[in-house]
Amino acid sequence: MVDKPGKAVVLLSGGLDSATVLAMARKDHFQCIALSFDYGQRHRIELTAAKRVADAGGAIEHRILTLPIGELGGSALTDATIDVPDASESEGIPVTYVPARNTIFLSMALGLAEVTGCRNIYIGANAVDYSGYPDCRPEFIAAFEKLANLATREGVEGDGFRIRAPLIDMSKAEIIRTGIDLGVDYNLTISCYNPSTEGLACGICDSCRLRANGFQVANVPDPTSYQARD
């Protein structure tokens, strides 16, 4: 007799990576509660994408919580006075890093997991193609899992939590191939840091470059809608 996997919280941004993670969690037979955040991101159109992805990906529920991370400032993704750089300008931890974002997101996911009886939390963190974000490293995921099991009633009195980051060692091309095999429609997703109000990708930011390169290496037609450029 195999234990039923039960329910999982899946952090869902509306981008390529988290759409793939939702499909992987479903393949693991979890009933998925998708969790997205309105945190003042300039690419807020991604919340529309997140809703589409949650519906298409078979989530049993999609929650969007409001978090005032943008009020902290300090990131090109939440502060309109800081330009989103072209990929070529990036060196070290880029200005698109959002202070402590994954710690804050996972903390909210942990609270939701404890309340809803989920023992598993999925996050699309990726250390291979990542842009130098410290909270996308395996060490961070392992440390957060330890914290989750120290800091909660479920961790102390119950069976504890697993933080699952199945993309952590995968290249963008591997992620795309995995998603295609699982039937993910990447046309529904938005990865761009600086999309138009209609959701068209800029084609030049770090995230657009990584995504476009991933489709190329995976030998899969890129379904992304790009803004017209001069």
Residues that bind Zn ion (CB under 5 A): 192, 201-202, 205, 208
In the bound state with Zn ion, the residue whose beta carbon lies nearer, of 171 and 196, is 196
Q: Do 34 and 12 form a contact (C-beta atoms < 8 A)?
A: yes
Instruction: Write out the two tokens for 205.
Output: 């930011």
Nearest approach, Cβ of 193 to Zn ion (angstroms)? 5
| Spatial distance between the Cα atoms of 72 and 98, rounded to a whole number of angstroms | 9
Between 40 and 85, CB nearer to Zn ion: 85
**At its nearest, how many Å lie between Zn ion and the CB of residue 212?**
9
Compute the least distance from the CB of residue 128 to Zn ion, in Å: 19
Q: How far is the CB of 199 from Zn ion (least distance, A)?
A: 11
User: For residue 65, how many other CB atoms are within 10 A of its CB?
Assistant: 14
Going by C-alpha positions, the residue among 94, 92, 31, 91 that lies closest to residue 58 is 31
Tokens of 21: 């993670």
Shortest Å distance, C-beta 84 to Zn ion? 7
SS3 26: helix
Residue 183: HSE in the Cβ half-sphere, 13 Å Cα cutoff: 6
CB nearer Zn ion, residue 184 or residue 208: 208
What is the Cα 115 distance to its own chain's centre?
A: 22
Residue 106 identity = L
Tokens standing for residue 162: 């697993």
Beta carbon nearer to Zn ion, 127 or 200: 200
Q: Quick one: 109 or 190, whose CB is closer to Zn ion?
A: 190
